[in-house]
Structure 1
C-alpha cells in the first residue's frame, strides 16, 4: 500500500513539474513574440518581398525626431541594403535602398552598354545611384550635398538617403549644390566612346544642372565641334521617380532599336505633359531652402498650415505655390480635384511619392483610385529621396501624373 502511495506522489509531482515547466516555456515564447514586431516590405529596387523582425524596446530606444531606422541584410543582384524607417507606433514610414554592397560588379553591364546605340546619362536627381544606374546601362552623375556649410559629399555615392534623413532629423543644415560645368566637361570627355550622348537632367527651374551641362557642351565645341554635336541635353521638367522612369524608358527604347529622333520625341512629350502636385507637411524646410525658399514667403509664417505646390503647370518645370490647407486630408482631396480638372476625360497614369510617410501614400492611392475611378495599376508608390526631403521636408506627399500614350 505504501509503495503505491509513494508511486502516486512521484507521478503527481512529475506531472505538476512538467506542466509548470512547459507553461513557463510557452509563456516565455509568448512574451518574446510580444516584444517583437514582424514586417514584410517590398524592395523599391528589385521588388523582392523582404521579411524582418524588430524588437519594440530597441525601436523605442532608436527614435530620433519621432523615427527609428534599421538596416537589413543585403539581398538581390547586385546585392543591396535596405534601410527601414518606423515611427513611434511601429508603423513603417519609409523603405529606402541605402547602398549596394562594395566589391560587387555586374557581369551584364559591359555587354548591355555594348549593345546600346547611345550613351545614356542622367543626374542623381533621378534617385538612381551610380551603381544602380551602371547595373542597367545608365551613367549617373552625382551632385554635392553640403553639410552644415562645412562638409561636401557626393549624393548617392558618398552619402545616401537614410544618411541624409538621419542628419535632417538631428537638425543639421543641409544644402544641395548643382553639378558644375567642369564636372560635366570632364564627365563627357571620360565617357566618350564614339557614340552619341543622351543627357537627361532634372527640371532647369529647380537646379542649374541643365544650364551647366549646356555650358560644358559649349566649351567642348571650341575644342572638338564634332564631339559636341554628338551630345543631346534634355530638360525633363521634373525630378525624382518620374525622371528615373524617363531615363529607363529611353534606355529601353534604345535596346529596342528606336532611333535618336524617336527617343527625343518621347522625352519631349513626357517632359511637356507631366504635372506634379505636392502637399508639404511644414514650412520649416521650405524656409531653409536656397532653391525654393521663395515659396515659403508666399505662404507667410502662419502656424500649422500645409502648403500645396504644383509643378510644370505651364510646361516649364517650375514649382509654384497653389494654396495652403489646415489638414493633410483636405490637402490630398484638393490635389485630386486639381488632377480631375486638368485631365478630365483622359486616361492617366503616374507615380505617387512620399518622404517617410508610406502609410499616407497608400491611403492617398486608395482615395485617388476611388475618387477618379482609375485603374490602380496605373499608379505606383515610390519613396522620394533626400533631394526633395532637404528642400520640402519629411512628410511631403504628392504625385506626378500624365496622360496615357
Structure 2
C-alpha cells in the first residue's frame, strides 16, 4: 500500500494534479464579514479577489485540530503510512496544529507511521514539494525515500514574487502605511522571497514590465539546470501575465515543464489580486 500524502490548501496545487496523484488537501479558512469559508471549498480564489477589489478585507484561519485528527485517524485505521507536508509554520499556525494532532493520534494508534514536515515554503513553492512527494508515493517509494526528497526540495526551493498593490501587504503587516502609500503613487513594485519560512523584501522596481524582467534575472542568478526542472508560476487572477512569464522562461532557459495556478484564498487574502510568483530549485543534485 502506498504512502498517503496529505497537504493543506496553502500549497496551491491545481485540482487535476491533486486528483491524479491522490493527494488529500486540508482546507484553511477565509473569514469575510464574520462568516467562515473553506479555502477552495466554499470560496474560490476568483470570488475572493473580486470581493477584495470591492473593498473587503478577509482574514484567514488555520486548519482545525478536528480536521487533522479525523484525517490522520482515517488513514491510520487503513494501516497507511502518512506524510503531512505543511505550508510554512512562519506564515500560519497550521503546521503546529498538525504536529500536535499527530502526537494525539499516535497515542491512540501507536503502531501507525505518521510524519509531519514543515516545508517553510508557501504557495506553489510548497506545491512543488507536495507534487514531488506524491509522484514518488505513486511510484511506490518508501516513506524514508520520500522524506529524503521532501527535505532536499524544501532546502533548495526558491520563491521570487511581487504584488500589484502594497495595500494588501500593509493590511497584513508586511509593509508600513507610508511605504504602501508612496509605493502606490510611484508604481513601485516590491520583489520578495521566502527565507527560513518568512517573507523578505529584497528590492523594489518601478513598473510592472520591469519587475517581470527583474524576476527572470534573479531566476537566472539563483537557478540551476532550469530547463530540466518543473517550474511553477502562481498568480492572483492574472493568467495573462503568468503566461507572459512562462514565455519569457521558455525563451531564456528552455524550460518545458510548468505548473501554473491561481494563488488560493488562504495566501491570496494577504497578497491580493495581481500577485505574481515563480518557484524553482537552486540545486538539483
- Shared fold per TM-score greater than 0.5: yes
Contact residue 299 and residue 324 of structure 1 kept, 8 A: no
Structure 2 stretches lacking a partner, 5+ long: none
Structure-2 change in CA distance of 1:383 and 1:300 (3 Å)? closer
Q: Secondary structure at the match of 1:232?
A: strand
Matched, 1:338 2:218: yes
1:287 is aligned to: 170
Q: Which structure has the bigger radius of gyration? A: 1
Distance change >3 Å, CA 250–CA 219, structure 1 → 2: same
- Within the candidate set 245, 255, 258, 1:376 is matched to 255
1:395 is paired with a residue whose SS is: coil
Q: Partner of 1:225: helix, strand, or coil?
A: coil
Q: 1:183: which partner in 2?
A: 67
Partner of residue 264 from structure 2, selected from 355, 360, 385: 385
Partner deviation per Cα, 1:128-169 (whole Å, 9 max, x = no partner): 589984564221111111112x10111112222222123222
State how far apart, in whole Å, the 2-side matches of 1:356 and 1:221 are: 41
Does residue 321 in structure 1 map to residue 201 in structure 2? yes
Q: Which runs of 5+ in 1 are unaligned?
A: 1-115
Name the residue aligned to 2:102. Answer: 217
Are 1:277 and 2:160 matched, yes or no? yes
Partners of 1:127 and 1:156 within 8 A in 2: no
2:44 is the counterpart of 1:166: no
CA distance in 2, matches of 1:226, 1:218: 12
What is the count of residue pairs matched by the alignment? 277
Q: How far off its partner does 1:390 sit? A: 1.3
* Aligned counterpart, 1:30: none
Instruction: Provide TM-score, normalisation by structure 1.
Output: 0.62
Report matched runs for 1:242-321 at 5 Å.
242-289=125-172, 293-296=173-176, 299=179, 301-302=181-182, 303=185, 304-312=187-195, 316-321=196-201
Question: Aligned-pair RMSD on alpha carbons?
Answer: 2.5
> 4+ residue runs of structure 1 moved beyond 6 angstroms?
129-132
Question: 2:177, 2:25 → 1: CA distance?
Answer: 34
Output the CA distance in 2 between the equivalents of 1:379 and 1:247.
15
1:178 Cα shift?
0.8
Per the TM alignment, residue 359 of structure 1 is displaced from its structure 2 partner at its CA by: 1.9
Q: Evaluate the alpha carbon distance shift between residue 324 and residue 374 of structure 1 in structure 2; reply closer, same or farther with a 3 A threshold.
A: same
**1:376 and 1:141 mapped to 2: Cα distance?**
31
CA distance in 2, matches of 1:300, 1:170: 18
Any idea what SS the aligned residue of 1:376 has? coil
CA contact (8 A) 1:203 1:236 kept: yes
Distance in 1, matches of 2:213 and 2:16, equals 38
CA distance in 2, matches of 1:204, 1:381: 24
Q: Report how far residue 277 of structure 1 moved.
A: 0.5
